Amino acid sequence: MSKTEKLIIAIPSKGRLQENTQGFFEKLGLKIKRSQGARGYSGELIGIDNVEIAFLSASEIAKALDEGLVHLGITGEDLLRENIRNTNQKVEILNPLGFGRANVIVAVPQSWIDVNNMLDLDEVANRFRDDHGRRLRIATKYNSLTTEFFASHGIENYRLVASAGATEGAPASGSAELIVDITSTGSTLAANNLKILSDGVILRSEANLTLAFTANWGTNQLNALEKLLNLTAAEQSARQIQEINCSANNLSTDQINMLVDTFNCQLPFGNKPTDKLTILADKTQIFEIVDYLKAAGSKFITVSDLKYIFNHDNKKFGQIVKKLKN
Amino acid sequence: MTKNSLNNKITKLANALDYKQVLPNIVQPATAYFDMLGDDLRRRLFIVQDSMHNNGNQDFVLRPEFTICIAKDYLQNNTNNQPAKLCYSGPVFRSDPVTHVCNEFVQTGIEIFAAKDSFKADIETIEYALKALDILNIKQVELKMGDYDLFFSLIQNLNISDIWRKKLRRLFLSHNNLESLLKKLNRPQTVPVNHERAAFLNAIEGLEVSSAQMLVENVLSFSGIDLIGGRSAGEIAERFLEQAALSATPTLPDDILVILKEYFSISGQAINSIEKLNAFNKKHSLKLEDKIIELQNRFNAIEALNIGNFTKDNIQFNTLLGRGFEYYTGMVFEIVDAKKRVSSPLIAGGRYDALAKQLGATQNVNAVGASLWDARIAEILQLDAEDK
């Protein structure tokens, strides 16, 4: 995979995750072009030079990041935390992408009406061992996450059993007593007579753009990374912010300065009471600001979404370069 | 001394003491290990799969120790529990807690099953252990001893409910050290209940198990919930009853806590410990006389073995000595280098009468054993050679 001086980005090879990933790149003004024929498992990113796209399954992406076979990858945090030992030393989550949301949870049979939380489960695990001479079995694909979570709650009397197919069916089929699994809506759990413990959310996961520290980072790759990070930072800052343009001839400088003091907003192009004043503000504050401007005498106001905000040095890129040098 | 000659000498000793060599399989079914081992060792198990992952249910492990597989083989081949003195030597496998690579160690040892006289079997076990070190010319050793049975008798004689006894037994079996045990003892031993649960517990308190069970069954059937997940309505009812009974006193009564703390503070040379135990027993009227005499007899019998220059003074008793295995029921011991040049035990073992039942036998089988860490012994021999 790393034959060239190219920045390799691993992305999901199929399904909703792939569509959403393409959407993410499109928002950045970038397009994934898949190679034809036998080389259909790779592609390029139109918009940034020296980037190669590798299409892998979501769990292969976590492993490829762990081994440094790819520079960047898009996959769920659950798979990163589960498959990469010492996750924070091996990889860095650059940005959450807002899709692929799902929680890794502890779920027990609904019929366990005496079990609502992890403390209950601890007590029941101990009793179960005494009553049955064996430990509670937890069906899961998340061995590491489960072990860590249960240890943090001081629960010892359990054992893990591998779940080959549908984990949520294990308690009903008798191959386990409870499960640790990923769920987005919880409806599959309910259909299998299971319930989530009140403090049983192990991880709130979503898809992330993630960087592998152990990959081979040369000049070309760093340049491509910087361009990509500038775009993601610009797109990310633009996500929460909207732009207000208004006629400001009737406003006093004091009234305009009051805006910055009162609301979470900026005046990127100055505070002169001119024909057109531009205000950038957090989405949640827009209508309060509009009301304020109207009251102050502004005759015409528009609000619009922004695509990018390129406003500062890319701090994240600097931090990454520093970490890579260490 | 080469590793082989070390091993030969110990094997000869075992033969001379009438132990029969057994060779359990290295690859073992996983279930017993997952169910019997403590958390620490369980995490270090090595799971074996075929290359096609056909046995995807984690069915096999590389044996991490000998006792469980030897006990299983014994139970399978001796359905009428014939007395047996068995010895073994071979590799065991555990993953390294830091690097997670598979470490292979050689363990050598003995197990005695269904002895007519269990006191005698305990002494024979210590005899084997001390003689093994003696013939290898390791003379400066300390024998650390503990006694699970003494603790179980103590809680049996305390004025507490059976529910508390069970809880204390569990805490004791899973403790790592005094600090963690005391911390666990100090905190409330029941799950805090919310208002709805409290109301339910009030309603259920004092009911017969069968009525409480019916109540649980009714709640389930009214709510249209299927009973799945290996716990019966009876078990759920029993836990509710326990919660109800304990909800008034979720922490251990202070006077009981004082007694336990005093007990766990008892440690030191064998003779001193006996004195301390006698005083403790008298002060709190615990009726442990017989158990303390038994312990004293054990110390005396070990001295009477007359092995090298070993006397009672080389025995350190410790009420907290635990082994990280939950199957011990009586005497537990570790033998360490007296100069502490190697901190881990050279030999360790104990009595585990309850294991047979945990492995599915219909009754307890009296059992005791010892196992030697060949590499640690070799290290001591090496250090001794360098000193000369």
Q: Does residue A13 share a domain with residue A157?
A: no
**What tens-digit pLDDT sequence spans chain A (326 residues)?**
445 689 999 999 988 899 999 999 998 999 999 887 655 688 999 999 999 999 999 889 999 999 999 999 999 999 999 999 889 899 999 988 989 999 999 999 999 999 999 999 998 998 898 888 889 999 999 999 999 999 888 888 899 888 777 899 999 999 999 999 999 888 899 999 999 999 999 999 999 999 999 999 999 999 999 999 999 888 888 888 999 999 998 889 999 999 988 998 999 899 888 889 999 999 999 999 999 999 999 999 999 999 888 876 678 888 888 888 87
Evaluate whether residue A247 is within a structural domain: yes
Tell me: do A174 and A50 sit in the same domain: no
Q: Which candidate from A111, A136, A137 shows the least CB-CB separation from B227? A: A111
**Same-domain status, A113 and A191:** yes
Distance from CA of A165 to the nearest CA of B (A): 11
Nearest residue in A to B220, CA atom: A111
Residue A317 lies in a domain: no
Q: Are residues A286 and A265 in the same domain?
A: yes
**Does residue A323 fall inside a structural domain?**
no
Whether B225 and A124 lie within 8 Å, measured CB to CB: no
**Residue pair A226/A314 in contact by the 8 Å Cβ criterion:** yes
A65: domain CATH number is: 3.40.190.10
Task: Identify whether residues A53 and A176 lie together within a single domain.
Answer: no
Contacts of B230 in chain A (CB under 8 A): 128, 132, 136-137, 171, 174, 177
Do A214 and A95 have their domain in common?
A: yes
Same domain, A80 and A52: yes
pTM, two decimals, is 0.80
Asked if A197 has any chain B CB less than 8 Å from its own CB, the reply is no
Same domain, A90 and A109: no
Answer yes or no: do A139 and A49 share one domain.
no
Q: What is the pLDDT of residues B359-382, one digit of tens each?
A: 888 889 999 999 999 999 999 999
Q: Does any domain span residue A158?
A: yes
In a domain, A320, yes or no: no
- Domain span at A210: 7-100+206-237
Chain B residue nearest residue A168, CA to CA: B229
| Domain layout of chain B by residue ranges | 3-157+262-387, 195-246
What CATH number corresponds to the domain at position A289? Answer: 3.30.70.920
Number of domains chain A is built from: 3
Do A107 and A96 have their domain in common?
A: no
- Same domain for A219 and A289? no
Please state the CATH superfamily assignment of the domain spanning residues B3-157+262-387 in this structure. Bira Bifunctional Protein; Domain 2 (3.30.930.10)
The 3-class SS string of chain A reads CCCCCCEEEEEECCHHHHHHHHHHHHHCCCEEEECCHHHCCEEEEECCCCEEEEEECHHHHHHHHHHCCCCEEEEEHHHHHHHCCCHHHHEEEEEECCCCCEEEEEEEECCCCCCCCHHHHHHHHHHHHHHHCCCEEEEECCHHHHHHHHHHCCCCCEEEEECCCCHHHHHHHCCCCEEEEEECCCHHHHHCCEEEEEEEEEEEECEEEEEECCCCCCHHHHHHHHHHHHHHHHHHHHHCEEEEEECCCCCCHHHHHHHHHHCCEECCCCCCCCCCEEEEEEHHHHHHHHHHHHHHCCCCEEEEECCCCCCCCCHHHHHHHHHHHC
A110 in reach of chain B (CB within 8 A): yes
A111·B225 Cβ contact <8 A? yes
Among the three residues A237, A254, A289, which one is the final residue of a domain in this structure? Answer: A237
Note whether residue A324 is domain-resident.
no
B355, closest residue in chain A (CA to CA): A133
Q: Give me the interface pTM, i.e. the ipTM.
A: 0.77
* Chain B nearest-CA residue for A121: B191
Of A85, A124, A159, which is closest to B239 when you measure between CB atoms?
A124
